[in-house]
Chains A and B, each alone.
Chain A
Amino acid sequence: MLKLNIHTLNEEESSYQQLFRLWREANGDNLEVQFDFAGCGFLRQNAVAFLGGLARLIEYRGGRATFAWDTLDDAIKVNLCQNGFMSTFGGPLGPWRGNSIPFREDKKQNPHGFVEYLADLWLGRGWVNISPLLRDAIAGRVAEIYLNAFEHSQSPVGVLTCGQHFPKNRRLNLTIVDFGVGIPSNVRLFQAGKIKPENLQASKCMEWAFQSGTSTRPGGRGIGLDLLHDFMRKNGGRLEMFSHQGYVSVANGEISYAERSSFFEGTLVNISLKCDDSFYCLASEIN
């Protein structure tokens, strides 16, 4: 049996390195894997979504994934119960409403269900003061990320999502992850007639994909996050996207692209909104 030791996982670079290392270690067929949490002091929503997807990937490849629930810190255990992760993977307690945005796995596309999840369970609980119109506009944009994953990624386990409200830090976070072929893969294929794939860095592929209007599908839409970018700038929020070694950060009004050292074949998007006392609405609502 392969025992995967899960250490504290937050949203620092080192945590993403740990997550992607776990993916590499479990990246085989017919593996018997146990996730062990001794020594884990914290698990954020990005880790919850990712570990859920990794467990499903292990199962998809003919293996078995189990969780050593008794190695969990009590506070983490409560959180994994609350957000439904524990009950999804055979643990003892079912979910309830609290500061979590439920763990969710969509093996098949469920657009209406997902958009209601975003509008009601993530944005619609009053943690960010946001007008209904802006809430719906943001939900639509984030739903594009979800739909892009189903359309492009070929993820065998679909899309995994989880969120968390952090009242002390005044942040509201959401992570969406797929275990598919990754954004750079399709972009390199699309550009293959003009640029050799080996000459197209993952970060450049991400940059291309982020340009509004680009897509590798007919009538496609690119990632097109103009409205999200604008809201991030005003709110002080942050959006990060990881795919292959490519990394995109939308923060402080800037979009930046980087080449990372560690590799993850799929795509992970992490959104963090600031829960301040401002009220946010569309400019058209004021005019």
Chain B
Amino acid sequence: MIMKVNVQELVGDVCMTSEDGAKVHDAYRAAFDRGETVELDFVGTRIFVSQFFNTAVGQLLKDYSKDEVQRRVIPLHLPFAGGAPMRQSIENAGRFYRDPQFRAALDKVLEAQAAEA
């Protein structure tokens, strides 16, 4: 089974914010958890920032392997500008969720920032 998501219909032509990424993620997550393949159709989108992909796709790495995510989340019509941020987001998320030392170091930064806020 393949679930198709039209990204532009959900968030417009600019894929930048975590909130927009979350909209995309929420649209397909249940299907992904059921074992379906997800096609993210980026037709009509233009501008991409990694922060969008962190929530659109990267957060899957908390529960799934990088290989599985890359196998079952298929980007279609992704402009060149989106390729690198998407790949980088998946790489970084994989590292964060699989590397406890990396995560501990990040937690320290976040604690310090929270204390100063």
Contact = CB atoms under 8 A, between A and B. Distances in A.
Interface in B86-117: 88-89, 91-93, 95-96, 103-106, 108-110, 112-113, 116-117
B81 A190 contact: no
Interface in A209-263: 212-213, 215-222, 224, 226-227
Instruction: Tell me if A's interface is mostly helix, strand, loop or mixed.
Output: helix
A154 interface: yes
Nearest to B96: A218
A114 B105 CA distance: 31
State which size class the interface on B falls in. 35 or more
Contacts of B106: 190, 216-218
Interface stretch (A11-19, A23-31, A134-142): A134-142
Contacts of B74: none
B105 A111 contact: no
A151 B79 CA distance: 26
A136 B46 contact: yes
Contact of B16 (A115, A151, A193): A115
A144 B80 contact: no
A140 B81 CA distance: 8
Contact of A154 (B48, B58, B117): B117
Contact of A219 (B12, B17, B58): B58
A9 to B, nearest CB: 31
Contacts of A75: none
A143 B84 contact: no
A140 B42 CA distance: 15
A221 B51 contact: yes
A137 B81 contact: yes
Contacts of A38: none
A76 interface: no
B81 A212 contact: no
A227 B89 CA distance: 16
Contacts of A216: 105-106, 109
B76 to A, nearest CB: 16
Interface in A156-191: 186, 189-191
Contacts of B81: 133, 136-137, 140, 227, 282
Interface centre among B12, B14, B91, B95 (most CB of A within 10 A): B14
Interface in B22-71: 46-51, 54, 58-59
B75 interface: no
A147 interface: yes
B96 A219 contact: yes
A108 interface: no
A188 to B, nearest CB: 10
Contacts of A212: 88
A144 B50 contact: yes
B51 A136 contact: no
Contacts of B116: 154
B79 A221 contact: no
A192 interface: yes
Contacts of A119: 47
28 contacts: A111-B49, A112-B14, A112-B17, A119-B47, A133-B79, A133-B81, A137-B81, A140-B48, A140-B81, A140-B85, A143-B16, A144-B50, A147-B16, A154-B117, A186-B109, A189-B112, A190-B106, A193-B104, A212-B88, A213-B88, A217-B106, A219-B54, A221-B85, A222-B88, A224-B50, A224-B85, A226-B84, A284-B80
Given A136-B46, A140-B81, 18 more contacts: A116-B14, A136-B47, A139-B47, A144-B51, A147-B49, A151-B51, A154-B113, A154-B116, A190-B109, A192-B105, A193-B105, A212-B88, A218-B106, A220-B50, A221-B85, A221-B92, A222-B88, A224-B50
